[in-house]
Structure 1
Amino acid sequence: MLLITILFISVIQVAIPFLIKRTVVFGVTIPYEQASHPMLQSYKRKYAILTFLVGITVMISYILGNQSAMEETKLVLFGMISLFVVLLTSLSLYFYFHYKTMNLKKREEWFRGVKQVRVADLALRSKDEMLPSYVHLIPSLITVMLIILSAQLFDQLPNQIPTHWGPNGQPDAFTDKSWMSVISLPLILFIFQTMFFGINYYTKRSGIKLNAANVTSAKLRQLRLRKYTSWFLFITNILLTILFSFLQLNLLYENLFNDSVLMLVPFAFFAIILAGALGLAIKVGKVDSDLEGTLVMDHTKKQDSIDEDRYWKGGLIYYNPNDPSIFVEKRFGIGYTINLANPIGYLILFLPVALILLIQFTI
């Protein structure tokens, strides 16, 4: 599983510069007509090659470690370190090329003489195919049933109940029986389901930002991003419900599933999530990006979108008090990030994390 994760992260990191929208390069806003600038293309290739080499080196090292007599615990630790090496290396390379792109933009004064405008299409909302937010609350009915079932079987459970299962499918950590320890999994699941509802609801209400120089491709990208992100979120919700229900039933009914099933279900969950994330990246990333092909200008070269670099810290963190949107498209990656200037965003993302940690500490 760790090897698959390292491979997936490496592939995604290599591909990201070519999947993000053309008017953003390493988190820096550029005029649409500069998307094919030879220096920018060189930065992207160098980033991809260096990230690829690091990913290959890390995977080979992990495979060799797996074939050696290394203990399982040490091998898992080595795999986690290898994963962080890939992520930290790609992040370091990102910041390096981020500042090189900023300096190139400043030195060549790309926005000098270019009229910066905002483009809005009021009819675009009617074409939005995002799923309705209430669908994320439907799986919560299963969660309620799990809590009721757990309460009915509480007296029949042993005084020590498992809280963690090892790679072999056998429990390797236990805790004293209490109401919180018995229903903690359904409670955490319900928090996730509520969070998914909030993310979908406020993403649906967030603004649809269009590229003033290429409105046609920008519309298609935004519609795809919204549609497939909502579907990915819903599928994740369903899979989490299945996984948590499986774990809870295994807790309530001892030996309900054999060891092979206990190992297979989490692996299948993980594999489907990764496949979905890859599908989302491809579906969205092949529009209004380097994969789309030839640049097509919808407007004169003297007109382009607003340069919003001042609202992006390092091209990754968005803080714009003037933007009512809670979620906006990422500048490096596929999907959405939060507008940290809007307090509702903190409630949607950070409050659930705090509640889950509180549940864990009370067990």
Structure 2
Amino acid sequence: MAFIVFFILILFLTCLESAIPYLVKRTVVFGVSIPDQHVTDDKLNRYKKTYTIFVASVSIAALAIFTFWYSTSSPAEEKMVLYGMAIQFGIMLLSIALYFFYHGKTAQRKKAEKWGENVKRIKAADLSARVQDEMLPWYVFFLPMIITIGVLIYTISKYPVLPDQIPTHWGINGKPDAFTVKTPFSAIQMLIILLVMQVMMIAINLSTKRSGIKVSTTNTQATRARQLTLRKYSSWLTFITSVLLTMLFSFFQLSTIHEDLAGDAVTFALPMVFLFLVLAGTIIFAVKVGTAGNNSAGAQPAEGVGDYDEDEYWKGGLFYFNKNDPSIFVEKRFGVGWTLNFANPIGYLIIIVPLIVILVLSFL
């Protein structure tokens, strides 16, 4: 079971990390803004292709070695989990190392070729796109919270019949493998953590909904399509993740109260179904956003006019610091989704504070 889970995770990570250069905006290459007329530059295309081939080759080789090692040695689950996690971290470290290497080469090429120099830079925002915005309203996210609160109230009512040992962790097979002594807090600890996560998801959805819709002056149609797709599908992915987490946590909580709630087959299958649905949703999200606007032809840029590249606000092409931008979240330059505007303190309240609360609750 553990091997299947890690095999799927490593394969998913391999596919995602290998495809990233082709999922970001076409005018952003390894975190560097490229003028529209230079996005087909041969060297830039070679950088992307080399990155993808190298990450995919090394990751597939690691996965093959992991599979061979498992099939020939039948290792203990603890050892397999350790090696599986090590491979995933290795893939991410390789990806980020190659990213910074090609980020530097891309920035050097842009500077050497003087792309974007001696042009009038224009910022553009599409106010009319708000009418087409299909992000879910914030109150929809209260639906899974209502279920969580209901399970919490039910748990409190059943406190006298709860077992003396409360599960605090569940293994890959869906069965508890760590326990703590029953107290009024430990009985509802998992549901409190879930509520904190749900509040954070509401805040993220609200913040992304209020973020600016930035478009290109040379390809307004394509950039509008990408922005609207990103907003719509990130909202849906956040909501579906909240619902799935609620279902999983509620099942674990109710199975603590009623030990015979479900058979071994259901207990075994539920975490796998959760994993499959989350990964499938992430893939659909990445593909939908990565391909949005690809069929929209851009206008011929006017002589001496170009988009404002904002490179000065992106540290290493990954971290966005712009105190003049009221947006809390902005589209990533490497990867698919959103990243914080680290110059806006509200973002820290939305992300960092809930994570600290979750960590504190987990160790209490």
TM interval, shorter chain, is over 0.9
**2-structure distance, mates of 1:353, 1:219:** 32
- Distance change in 2, residues 1:52/1:130 (3 Å): same
Unaligned regions of 5+ residues in structure 2, if any? none
**2-structure distance, mates of 1:196, 1:97:** 33
Q: Match for residue 82 of structure 2? A: 77
Q: Secondary structure at the match of 2:353?
A: helix
Q: Which of these residues, 328, 332, 335, is aligned with residue 334 of structure 2? A: 332
Is 1:277 the equivalent of 2:282? Answer: yes
Deviates more, 1:292-301 or 1:208-217: 292-301
Q: Match for residue 29 of structure 2? A: 25
**1-structure distance, mates of 2:345, 2:326:** 11
**Could you list the per-position Cα deviations for residues 291-335 of structure 1 after superposition, in whole angstroms to 9, with x for gaps in the alignment?**
x36963353253221121111111111111110000000001111
Q: Is residue 207–residue 325 contact of structure 1 (8 Å, CA) maintained in 2?
A: yes
Q: Match for residue 211 of structure 1? A: 216
Q: Match for residue 2 of structure 1? A: 6
Q: Which of these residues, 40, 48, 67, is aligned with residue 44 of structure 2? A: 40
Is 1:199 the equivalent of 2:201? Answer: no
Q: Match for residue 316 of structure 2? A: 314
Superposition pairs of residues 133-282 of structure 1, within 5 angstroms? 133-282=138-287
Deviates more, 1:157-166 or 1:179-188: 157-166
Q: Which of these residues, 105, 116, 120, is aligned with residue 111 of structure 1? A: 116
Q: Match for residue 303 of structure 1? A: 305
Q: Secondary structure at the match of 2:309?
A: coil
Q: Return the TM-score normalized by structure 2.
A: 0.96
Q: Secondary structure at the match of 2:217?
A: coil
**1-structure distance, mates of 2:10, 2:217:** 38
**1-structure distance, mates of 2:126, 2:100:** 34
**2-structure distance, mates of 1:118, 1:298:** 17
Q: Is residue 221–residue 298 contact of structure 2 (8 Å, CA) maintained in 1?
A: no
**Could you list the per-position Cα deviations for residues 11-67 of structure 1 after superposition, in whole angstroms to 9, with x for gaps in the alignment?**
111111111111110000111111000010000000001001111111101111221
Q: Secondary structure at the match of 2:339?
A: strand
Q: Return the TM-score normalized by structure 1.
A: 0.96
**2-structure distance, mates of 1:48, 1:166:** 34
**2-structure distance, mates of 1:280, 1:331:** 16
**Could you list the per-position Cα deviations for residues 86-140 of structure 1 after superposition, in whole angstroms to 9, with x for gaps in the alignment?**
1110111101000000111111110112221011222111111111011111211
Q: Is residue 10–residue 87 contact of structure 2 (8 Å, CA) maintained in 1?
A: yes
**1-structure distance, mates of 2:342, 2:9:** 29
Is 1:12 the equivalent of 2:16? Answer: yes
Letter in 1 for 2:352: F
Q: Secondary structure at the match of 1:161?
A: strand
Unaligned regions of 5+ residues in structure 1, if any? none
Q: Secondary structure at the match of 1:138?
A: helix
Q: Is residue 173–residue 271 contact of structure 2 (8 Å, CA) maintained in 1?
A: no
Q: Is residue 200–residue 230 contact of structure 1 (8 Å, CA) maintained in 2?
A: yes
Deviates more, 1:154-163 or 1:15-24: 154-163
**2-structure distance, mates of 1:301, 1:227:** 34
RMSD: 1.4
Letter in 2 for 1:328: V
Shift of 1:170: 3.5
Letter in 2 for 1:63: T
Deviates more, 1:27-36 or 1:301-310: 301-310
Q: Match for residue 64 of structure 1? A: 68
Q: Is residue 213–residue 303 contact of structure 1 (8 Å, CA) maintained in 2?
A: no
**Could you list the per-position Cα deviations for residues 208-258 of structure 1 after superposition, in whole angstroms to 9, with x for gaps in the alignment?**
111122111011111111111111111111111111111111111113222
> May I ask how many residue pairs the two structures share in their alignment?
359
Q: Is residue 340–residue 347 contact of structure 2 (8 Å, CA) maintained in 1?
A: yes
Letter in 2 for 1:250: S
Q: Is residue 122–residue 305 contact of structure 2 (8 Å, CA) maintained in 1?
A: yes
**2-structure distance, mates of 1:189, 1:260:** 25
**2-structure distance, mates of 1:166, 1:112:** 56
**2-structure distance, mates of 1:172, 1:96:** 42
Is 1:89 the equivalent of 2:91? Answer: no
Q: Match for residue 57 of structure 2? A: 53
Q: Is residue 215–residue 298 contact of structure 1 (8 Å, CA) maintained in 2?
A: no
Letter in 2 for 1:312: W
Q: Secondary structure at the match of 2:299?
A: coil
Q: Secondary structure at the match of 1:139?
A: helix
Shift of 1:162: 1.9
**1-structure distance, mates of 2:64, 2:108:** 36
- Distance change in 2, residues 1:301/1:61 (3 Å): farther
